[in-house]
Amino acid sequence: MRSLRARYITLILSLVLFAFSSIVLSYAEGATRDKGKIFDKQIEIQDIVHKIIKYESGYNVLFRIHAGIYYLKSDVKNFNLILNSLKNSRDEEIAINLKVTSTTLNIKEVLSFNKKDS
């Protein structure tokens, strides 16, 4: 009888612990997600464009200092202006300030150019 009672208590404690951990995990996930989307903060970078490569829905952009492949998607606002600015940075070797997303590395906006030192 005592053994059966211990099993019931163990089972109940296991269920309570499982429910508690599920609540904690769902709360933690909710802190980093909004309706299933991961928050992608926008940051500013300053660099010189090294290479621009055409791909199916835009361009891949490589920089001299910042690691990773940055993306300029064709549906971004001011697409042609941003693309021309990136090409100018590459051709003239001028640093460009950009606003990009922190996790997906999507280029969102040109902030400014730095003058080339002569």
- Give the model's confidence band at 35: pLDDT under 50 very low, under 70 low, under 90 confident, else very high: low
In a domain? residue 118? no
In a domain? residue 100? yes
- Whether the per-residue pLDDT at 25 is higher than 90: the answer is no
Q: What is the structure's pLDDT at 3?
A: 75
In percent, the amount of the chain with pLDDT more than 90 equals 53
Task: Give SS3 for 115.
Answer: coil
Domain that holds residue 32: 2-38
Query: Residues 52, 79: one domain?
Result: yes
User: Domain containing 59 — which CATH number?
Assistant: 2.40.50.340
Residue 103 to residue 100: CA distance in whole angstroms: 9
Query: Residues 87, 102: one domain?
Result: yes
In a domain? residue 91? yes
Residues 62-97 as b/e (b if ≥16 CB within 10 A, e otherwise) read bbeebeeebbbeeebeeeeebbebbeebbeeebbbe
Residue 21 to residue 12: CA distance in whole angstroms: 14
Query: Residues 98, 58: one domain?
Result: yes
pTM above 0.85, yes or no: no
In a domain? residue 98? yes
